[in-house]
Each structure stands twice: as C-alpha cells, then as structure tokens.
Amino acid sequence: MKFLIALLGLLLTGPAFAAPAMWVIRDADTEITLFGTVHALPKGDIWLSPAIAAQLDAADTLVLEAVIPADRSSLASLVSKLGFRPGLKPLKTRVSKKAAPRVATLAAAVGLPLAALDGMETWLAAVTIDEATLASLGIAADAGVEPALEARARAQKKSVIGLETLEQQLQYFDMLPEADQVAMLEATLDDLGTAREQTDKLIALWRAGDIETIERDFAKEANASPRLMKVLLTDRNARWADWIAGVMKRPGKVFFAVGAGHFGGQNGLLALLKARGLVAERVK
C-alpha cells in the first residue's frame, strides 16, 4: 500500500525543513518550481503555506501529471473500457493460496462487493481496494494537493496542463503482465492491516520533508514488482526530466506539481535534472 499511495504520491528533501519540499530551477528568463504532491489527504487538512501559494501565484502555468475532466462520467467510461472484461477468473483464484482467504474478508471490511471485484482486471481490483481502504480512513483524492492547486490556478486564469492523459495513466497498469498485477494486489492485501499506521507515517514524512526515509521505504516496496517501479516511476521520471529541460529553453514561470515519490533517489527527478545540468535549489 505504501508503494500504491506513492504512485497514485510522496516525498521531499532535507530533514532541516519541517514542511513539504519545494525546489526552484531558474536562469535569466525562466523559473520552474518543483513541488511534490500527495494525491490523497484527510479532508480539511491544511497544507498550503504562504511560500507554496506565493510560488504558484507567481507562475504563468500549472503543470500536473494529468488533468481530471470536470465530467467524471468520461473517467468512469475509461475505467470501464480498460479495467473490465468478460471471462475473468474469480479474484481469489488469481492470487496465491496464502492470499486467497483474505480477498473476500478484506473486500467486506472496506464495503466492496466481491462479485464486482471479480469482474475487474487484477490491477483495477488492487487500486479499488486501496482507494476504498483510504476512504474508510477519511482520506480522499478530492482532498489531495492537486485539486487545490488546480482550483487556485484556474481562479487566477492560469494555464493548466497535464503531462499525460488519464488514459495513458490507466494503461500503465493495464499493460502490466498479470504476474505484476497479482504482486500489486497481494502487496495491497498484505498492508491493509497497517493501513492507518502506514498512511499516517507517509503523510508525516511528506510534511517533514524526510526524503531519505521515504526513499528507503519506496525501495523496499519496489521489490514486489520491479517492472511496476520501472513503468510508473523510472521511465516517467526520464521523460519528465527531458520535458523540464526543454521548458528551461523558453522564457516564463512554471509551477510543476507531480507525485512526491518521483523526486528522490538516483532515478528521481532531482538526480536526473542534475545530470542534465539543472540544479534545483530547495525553497525554504
């Protein structure tokens, strides 16, 4: 679950800073603010500091991983298209014998009909169980960082763009081999019992900017599916680093906000940007 929260979110840098991390890359006529987001938070959580607001307000453009359409029916249609197909085996028969007994029990615990899960591809079942678990803890995507940033940017008539489409994001999961989808589901089932503890820890680390601890936790979780790590983190980081390097050649101010788990480690955005000659300065 830690890995899923990170991917669907988290990170920052330097224990000397007791706040979510933010960096700036600038030259004579370009400034890009890098901000690590959390995709789901407790409702009512207050995190938008004056420093974060000032950087966003000064920007011309807000860049997100993807822009969620106002018409949510289109999202439901897309999930249905990619995440359901006839003839799937019951979910409990797709996992190991050890994990099988937990499928029905945990589905009931978070209020999900087992028949509905059986009709989902394995990756969608994992994501659905994860989201339902977070919801049962009072944590929701609409209380996450991105909706607040987007609302503020649109109120100021700023341009809001997505690095990817929602279909691309869902296809990252849909194109995974079944073995990797099963590994993702079993990791989710394994972590449900400690969901509150893990989620509280991740949010606390995000608030404290503790990049080292988060990086170590992510590395452990990635062992469950190295392919998932490559598809959802490593490959995307490389593409986004190239995108940022391209934007630095044009004048303007950009606020770049993506899941905080994309920034740390040797394959994270900060290291990749440094290798491209772009050094990000931490904003206090």
- What is the pTM for the complete model shown? 0.89
pLDDT digits (tens, 9 = 90+) for 84-138: 999 999 999 999 999 999 899 888 888 899 999 999 999 999 999 989 999 989 9
Q: Looking at the 3D structure of the chain, how many domains does it have?
A: 1
- Is the per-residue pLDDT at 209 higher than 70? yes
Q: Domain residues for 237? A: 2-282
**Residue-wise over 104-128: b if at least 16 C-beta within 10 A, else e?**
eebbeebebeeeebbbbbbbbbbbb
Do 37 and 136 meet the contact criterion of CB atoms below 8 Å apart?
no
Residue closest to 94 by CA, chosen among 113, 72, 117: 117
Distance CA 199, CA 195 (A): 6
Enclosing H/E stretch for 282: strand 281-282
Average pLDDT estimate for 235-261 = 96
pLDDT digits (tens, 9 = 90+) for 52-96: 999 999 999 999 999 988 777 888 899 999 999 999 999 999 999
